[in-house]
Amino acid sequence: MKSLLPFVRLMKFHLGWVVLGSTLGLLTLLSSIGLLALSGWFIAAAALAGVSLASAQAFNYLTPGAGVRAFAMVRTVGRYFERIATHEATFRLLAQLRVWFYQHLEPLNPARLKHYRSSDLLNRIISDINSLDNLYLRVISPTLIAVITSILVAGFLAWVSPMLGLLLLICLCVAGFLIPWLGYRLASGVGEAQVSATSQLRQRAITYVQGMSELHVYSALDSEHAKFVQEQKTLTDAQLRMSLISGLTSGMMAWVAGIATLLALIVAVNMVQAEVLAPAWLALIMFCVLASFEAVAPLPVAYQFLGKTRASAANLLEIAEQTSDIHFPDGAVEVVHPGVVSFKRVNFAYAERRVLDDFNMNVEAGERVAIMGHTGSGKSSLINILARFWEVQAGEVEVGGVNLRAYPESQLRDQFSVLSQPVQLFAGSVRDNLRLSGEDVSDEGMLDVLERLGLLDMLGSEGLQREVGEGGSKLSGGQRKRLGIARALLRNAPILILDEPTEGLDEATEKQVLEVVLTYRPTQTLLMITHHDLFLDRFDQVVRIGPQ
């Protein structure tokens, strides 16, 4: 249950809706029981009074008649507004949860997140958060209403006869706690299985779409298809088990309600025989008991899905409870020498793999440095270190004459403009993507860079409105790369870091791009990671990384 607590706490922001919804629900339910019980009593009393003309004429039918009508109205109106209020509360909570989840996700450094596929994260923010609607709507509010109703109705019957009150309370407890608990126990594990099966199925679906050409060429469609079908079977099997359990619990509910009515009837008949109960009350008691089970009817299904809700909650907490192991101080620093970068005796390793060993590098402001090395030699890890996505194990890294660790996050980001590998573009227009460089970048500025990089043709008739597609899927590899370079160039920062800017470009374009990169901001420090030796003479320094 602990995994659900943080989410219960979040409800306090929507307390008004929560309280309103539950109050209306209680009112509706009580009216519903009142309607049937009063109707039953009214009929029985009238039938008894109707035996003789005198008693029939003396019978006050106005008050019960009005009561019946009032209960009927409250039940109708109450039900509608109860559902509006409870759903409003739930969906407000869900909207808040999505933001809450992102706010916890965002500070985590990429090193932390690299174990998660983005389809998995997507599953969390969409499906898992949707599953939490179960919590208030189907668990908390109905439980609250059921408990209060049970106490009130059992209390009322206890006033008639303590025996009857106790009887109803026991039966309601069995129906309200024991059966839901049974459903919960039977379903625990099944719910979790459903959640993880859905997530795996989604992962398969995403790679199936993304890897369509490979699957075609390698005739692997069928085998991938088969894997999908197999994983789907895990899901439907879990769902079938779930439906058996919910069938069982609702069947048991019907039993308990029926048995309670039977027992109440036996007790009440005896009381009527002993003349301690007015005969017309027999009908009232029967209807009251029958109707009171409406209070506990929704609970078994709710608790049965609690396992699924808990699994979803745990999924969300798994991300939310992670803290970034990299902390940025708050206070601003004074950047003494903007554009200067230095590595002193730096050791750096990813979990298993050593990358930098006693690495030294000094870059002056405005210097152009080519960083070379083999594939996998760790050239790209320089970006991870400078952006503080990863921490070095030993040595000092300074940027602008200030230790890297002294920078608050936003100020550190302001020091660099980075083209990372692979280039990540976002669904939207070319302008949207270039806008990332800064709000103040003008259309003219964008068009100028695009022209220099030979990208104007790509825009076609739509200009900067040209849509790039998901992850830039509507552009060719070379166009994506150059758009990424344009984005990096447009950002005005003291240091420009480019990771393999010309990879995937033909030689002519490569020359054109390098020319732009080397001349666009003459005073900017340039760190260019590359494995080509084109234009090396135009760099001030060449740094080699990894075994020579």
Partner 1 sequence: MQPLSREVAREKSKWLKSLLGEDKIWLKLSVLAGLVAGLMLILQAHLLARAVDATLFHDASVMDLTPLLIGVFAALLIRGVMVMLREWGGQKASSGVRTRLRVALLSRLAELGPSYTRNQRAGEISSLVIEQTEALDAFIARYLPQMSLAALLPLVILAFVFPINWVAGLVFLCTAPLIPLAMALVGMKAADANRRNFKALALLSAYFLDVVQGLTTLKLFSKSREQTHIIGKNAEEFRIRTMQVLRLAFLSSAVLEFFASVSIAILAVYLGFSFLGLIEVGSWSGGVTLYHALFILILAPEFYLPLKELGTHYHAKQEAIAAAERLMDIFDELDRAETGGDQEPPTGAPTVHLSNIGFSYAAHLPPVLRNLNLTLNSGECVALVGPSGVGKSSLLSVLAGFDRPQEGAVLIEGIPLSALKRSSWMKRIALVSQHTTLFPGSIRDNLLIARPDATDAQLDRACEQAALTDVIVQLSKGLDTPVGEAGLGFSGGQIQRLSLARAFLKDAPIVLLDEPTASLDAESEQKVLESLTLLCKGRTTLLVTHRPASMAIADRVYRLVDGRCEAVDDVKMAKGEI
Rounded to the nearest whole angstrom, what is the least distance from the CB of residue 191 to partner 1 in the complex?
15
Q: Which of 456, 507, 540, 544 binds partner 1 (CB under 8 A)?
A: 507
Q: For residues 143 and 261, which CB has a smaller minimum distance to partner 1 in the complex?
A: 261
Q: Work out whether 92 is an interface residue with partner 1 (CB under 8 A).
A: yes
Rounded to the nearest whole angstrom, what is the least distance from the CB of residue 1 to partner 1 in the complex?
26
Q: Work out whether 414 is an interface residue with partner 1 (CB under 8 A).
A: yes
* Rounded Cα distance, 478 and 470, in Å: 16
Q: For residues 48 and 151, which CB has a smaller minimum distance to partner 1 in the complex?
A: 48
Q: Which of 287, 343, 348, 535 binds partner 1 (CB under 8 A)?
A: 287
* Rounded Cα distance, 81 and 269, in Å: 39
Residues 6-35 vs partner 1: string with x where CB under 8 A? -----------------------------x
Q: Work out whether 404 is an interface residue with partner 1 (CB under 8 A).
A: no
Q: Work out whether 333 is an interface residue with partner 1 (CB under 8 A).
A: no
Does a cis peptide bond (omega within 30 degrees of 0) precede residue 338? no
Rounded to the nearest whole angstrom, what is the least distance from the CB of residue 504 to partner 1 in the complex?
5
> Rounded to an integer, what is the distance from CA 512 to the centroid of its chain?
44
Q: Which of 15, 19, 266, 394 binds partner 1 (CB under 8 A)?
A: 266
Q: For residues 442 and 461, which CB has a smaller minimum distance to partner 1 in the complex?
A: 461
The answer to whether the Cα torsion of 421, 426, 429, 432 is positive or negative is: negative
Q: For residues 162 and 211, which CB has a smaller minimum distance to partner 1 in the complex?
A: 211
Q: Which of 5, 155, 185, 236 binds partner 1 (CB under 8 A)?
A: 236
* Rounded Cα distance, 39 and 280, in Å: 11
Q: What is the largest CA-CA distance in the chain?
A: 120
DSSP codes of every residue in 365-380: TT-EEEEE--TTSSST
User: Looking only at residues 418 through 457 of this chain, which bind partner 1 when binding is defined by CB under 8 A?
Assistant: 418, 420-422, 424-427, 436-437, 454, 457
Nearest Cα residue to 151 out of 272, 67, 269, 29: 29
Secondary element (H or E) of residue 403: strand 402-403
> Rounded to an integer, what is the distance from CA 371 to the centroid of its chain?
40
* Rounded Cα distance, 386 and 356, in Å: 14
* Rounded Cα distance, 268 and 279, in Å: 9
CB atoms under 10 Å from CB of 457, counted, come to: 9
Q: For residues 143 and 433, which CB has a smaller minimum distance to partner 1 in the complex?
A: 433
Quote the strand ranges of 74-131, DSSP E: none
User: Looking only at residues 107 through 166 of this chain, which bind partner 1 when binding is defined by CB under 8 A?
Assistant: 110, 113-119, 121-122, 125-127
Rounded to the nearest whole angstrom, what is the least distance from the CB of residue 247 to partner 1 in the complex?
3
Residue ranges of alpha helices (H) inside 321-470 are 381-386, 409-415, 430-435, 443-452, 456-459
Select from 140-148, 182-190, 341-349, 373-381 the region that touches partner 1 (CB under 8 A): 373-381
Query: How many chain residues are in contact with partner 1, going by CB under 8 A?
Result: 170
Select from 147-155, 172-180, 368-376, 394-402 the region that touches partner 1 (CB under 8 A): 368-376
How is the beta sheet containing 368-372 ordered, strand by strand? 416-419, 495-499, 525-530, 368-372, 541-544
Tell me the HSE value of 38 on the side-chain side, using a 13 A CA sphere. 18
Q: Work out whether 542 is an interface residue with partner 1 (CB under 8 A).
A: no
Q: Work out whether 328 is an interface residue with partner 1 (CB under 8 A).
A: no
Q: Work out whether 187 is an interface residue with partner 1 (CB under 8 A).
A: no
Select from 140-148, 306-314, 333-341, 527-535 the region that touches partner 1 (CB under 8 A): 527-535
The answer to whether the Cα torsion of 214, 220, 226, 227 is positive or negative is: negative
Q: Work out whether 525 is an interface residue with partner 1 (CB under 8 A).
A: no
* Rounded Cα distance, 362 and 71, in Å: 83
Q: Work out whether 536 is an interface residue with partner 1 (CB under 8 A).
A: no
Select from 207-215, 397-405, 515-523, 536-544 the region that touches partner 1 (CB under 8 A): 207-215
Q: Which of 155, 189, 258, 329 binds partner 1 (CB under 8 A)?
A: 258
What lies within 8 Å, CB to CB, of 19 at 6+ separation is none
User: Looking only at residues 487 through 506 of this chain, which bind partner 1 when binding is defined by CB under 8 A?
Assistant: 487, 491, 500, 503-506
Determine contact, residues 378/356, Cβ cutoff 8 Å: yes
Q: For residues 1 and 548, which CB has a smaller minimum distance to partner 1 in the complex?
A: 548
Q: Work out whether 239 is an interface residue with partner 1 (CB under 8 A).
A: yes
Quote the strand ranges of 203-352, DSSP E: 341-349
Q: Work out whether 410 is an interface residue with partner 1 (CB under 8 A).
A: yes
Q: Which of 3, 6, 23, 84 binds partner 1 (CB under 8 A)?
A: 84
Rounded to the nearest whole angstrom, what is the least distance from the CB of residue 236 to partner 1 in the complex?
4
Q: Work out whether 516 is an interface residue with partner 1 (CB under 8 A).
A: no
Q: Which of 156, 177, 208, 328 binds partner 1 (CB under 8 A)?
A: 208
What lies within 8 Å, CB to CB, of 366 at 6+ separation is 339, 522, 523, 524, 525
